[in-house]
Amino acid sequence: MKKTVTRLADGRELIYYDSDSPRPGEEDVVRDAVDRRPLGPVATTSEIRSDPLLGDAVAIASHRQGRTYHPPADECPLCPSREGRLSEIPDSSYDVAVFENRFPSLAGDSGRCEVVCFTSDHDASFADLTEEQAALVLDAWTDRTTELARLPQVEQVFPFENRGEEIGVTLGHPHGQIYAYPFVTPRTALMLRSAERHRAETGRNLFDDVVARELAESPERTRVVLEGEHWVAFVPYAAHWPYEVHLYPRRRVPDLRALDDAQRAEFPRLYLELLRRFDRIFGEGQPRTPYISAWHQAPFSAPGRDDYALHLELFTIRRTSGKLKFLAGSESGMSVFINDVPPEAAAGRLREVASE
């Protein structure tokens, strides 16, 4: 991987991640393009407020009302720049590019938000990437986790992808985001408490036991979707979403930085296969499945970090063809999920649509 760090016209950081192997017919990449847009400085109003009843944090970010919303494809701010249309990426092509969000939910002492562009191909999706391209994205996620961990205000790094207008995506270009939080997120804090309680009651690691349970549930392994030598993917016993898969490395690690070479080498193949299966869940001719793909990493200094397990959670809000799972009264009002698709049935369907 070749990494090039530069700045956009308003001072935001831009990082290019290029493959060590140039494309056929191309020379080694030189990143010297300058952002020629007349941008003023970024002005943010991000503020973290604590809810006294729930004890969680809410980011108030009114400046985000002005962010770019469903632009035409020829005005996409994530495509490479060309004459007559300058974008967030000053160069004429790129492999993977990461830059500070111009409309961040978190900024300054409140953390940091970055945009991760997976490819310069506007019409692609992550599932369309080659294994080499997916490995480069994994390298970028890992490098950003390493760099953001050095910021004194950052406690937890969350790389994720939202895909599909049903999810709320406002830019069609294949991209994800990274949120660097100045606190331990509520969901992670809850998992840490569960792990601590499990350790006290059994002397064992909760995450290890969850994976072991799925692998030993029955001879048929009814909720296991996909296995490799170093990773395993399964629909969890109490899945919240209609189609939800958790992907774990078999050797527990706290975050992306701790993955070994064998785990890194196997990840692209398994992850791409999961994404392609998601696109086939509802049958041929259906729109691509909207999803959220979320990396769960251990906080950097919270008690229980060593007991935490890096894993990826992939889920869709579509419950059947043409129908979405809405977070209505029980889910939104009381945080009690009601899932219409049995996890065993979801896992069975995801096995049925395996690539040949």
* Contact by Cβ (8 Å): 290, 166: yes
Q: How far is CA 240 from the centre of its chain?
A: 18
Q: Which residues are catalytic?
A: 175
Q: In the structure encoding, which two tokens stand for residue 72, read together?
A: 């035409």
* Contact by Cβ (8 Å): 278, 314: yes
